[in-house]
Amino acid sequence: MDFELIEKQVIYDGDRIRLELHHLMADEQRYRKEVVVHPGAVVIVPVLEDGRILLIRHRRYAINQVLIELPAGTLEKNEDPMNCAGRELLEETGYLARRLKPMMSMYASPGVLTEKMYVFIAYDLQRREQVLDLGEDIELLPVLLEEASEMIRTGEIQDAKTIASLMYYERFCQR
């Protein structure tokens, strides 16, 4: 279906997201779409020297829960996704990746959200120091890939980006 954008209203413009109301015309019908504009994000699959995957326990304010996730973060304006992946890995885990390999990209929720997520595999990790953002509460959780898969199966891992990235890694990227 072809549509014509008649008008775009910015309802909210924050630090990380912008909420827009799009007025569209299609097949002589006028309708609205609510769009959350997001700069994009990265997800990192950190592979430790012994083959374990470095997950994190991360308290998420929006849902008031601690989730088990892969390290991830939002792109800064005009930031290269690979640079963001290296920065976020170091900040959240205290590990520096000597090698980052692009794995895949995906859209988190394309019905309402423009966020594109770039997933990287991080190898040759060197321990440094965590540099957490204000309000971040992150605990490291290294696990075998088989353990992570079982955590997905049992519902212990509920974060969609983590589930998709780990399943892709297991199916297509494992050494």
Active site residues: 136
Tell me the helices (H) and strands (E) count for the chain, helix number first: 3, 10
120 alpha carbon, distance to own chain's centre: 10
Element (H or E) spanning 74, and its range?
Answer: strand 72-74
Residue 148 tokens read as 């992570």
Q: Which residues pair with 59 in a beta bridge?
A: 66
138-143 and 18-26 strand pairing = unpaired
